[in-house]
Amino acid sequence: MQLSDEDFGLLQLSIDAIMAKIADLHLSVVIESNFEDLQQFLAANDADRNPTFNPVFSDIEQDAFWFRVIDERRTIVACHADRIFRLDDFGDLLETGQLWYRDGFGPHSPVEVRVERPHTLVGGTVSHSGSLYVQPHSRGRGLSLYLPYLSRSVLLRNFNTSYHTG
């Protein structure tokens, strides 16, 4: 379903308001598509590296992005990533492990996942978010709240997502 002009306008207002909050912190948001850079930043900070957003493990296609939040010195202080999946049943990605690994869970996988499927089929244009990290010196300023809301607004506006997961 296409967004109405009114809905599009509301999403843009949301994006503008969140960007203003981030600007008030003297920070900027850069939208990136190079996920190797994301992995380098996370590794340098000994942060959790979700394989969904790691090109070593996953085929990250065109409809994916991450936010690089930078301070006045252009130092990265936070990040948050998103991917889009167009599919009939998101639960299949979970059960097979293909959400995290291009070939899914192998026969010798150390991970066992039990999926409790929701009563509603999750399919269509589904976004998946993760790899949210905020540098310790920048915590307590609202970034871990702002970034997920910003990504959801961008995902709804730009991709008309049916569901959002993370």
Residues with Cβ < 8 Å from 29, sequence gap 6 or more? 19, 22, 67, 68, 69, 70, 150
In degrees, rounded to 5, the angle at the alpha carbon of residue 11 between the alpha carbons of residues 125 and 84 is 20
pLDDT band of 116, cuts 50, 70, 90: confident
Say whether 11 sits in a helix, a strand or coil: helix
Note the pLDDT tens digit of each residue in 80-115: 999 999 999 999 999 889 999 998 887 766 667 777
**63 vs 15: CA distance, rounded Å:** 19
pTM listed for this prediction? 0.90
